[in-house]
Structure 1
Amino acid sequence: MLIGYARVSTDDQHLDNQRIVLRAAGCLRIYEEKISGAKYARPELTRLLDHVREGDILR
């Protein structure tokens, strides 16, 4: 499965462009996060890593 991960740092930023690119690339599942890059805890990234299986491709 092709899986995407999109992240922006602030509420002023938007995930729209990343979402469009990931869908155009064929991602069937996209994990999205609005969280600072300085933060260590990234719940959606953790969910993605728990979900990904051998043979999956991450974009």
Structure 2
Amino acid sequence: MPRELALDNGAMIAWTGLLAYQSGIRTPIGESYVRPRWRIDEVPVPWREGARGVFRPFRP
């Protein structure tokens, strides 16, 4: 995440969505909902180095 956007929560959510999309994660609208108690260690992050999946850093 670009440092200048790191203070904007909406930008951080959008950036995470972009990384997920680039990694092949797709969530149909009918399956998208808020999970307020979703543990951070249960969230798939295939764009991270060492994680399962393909790591492709985004370069604007």
TM-score of the pair, normalised by structure 1 = 0.29
Considering fraction of residues, name the structure with more strand. 1
Larger Rg: 2
Greater RCO structure (CA 8 Å; 6+ sep): 1
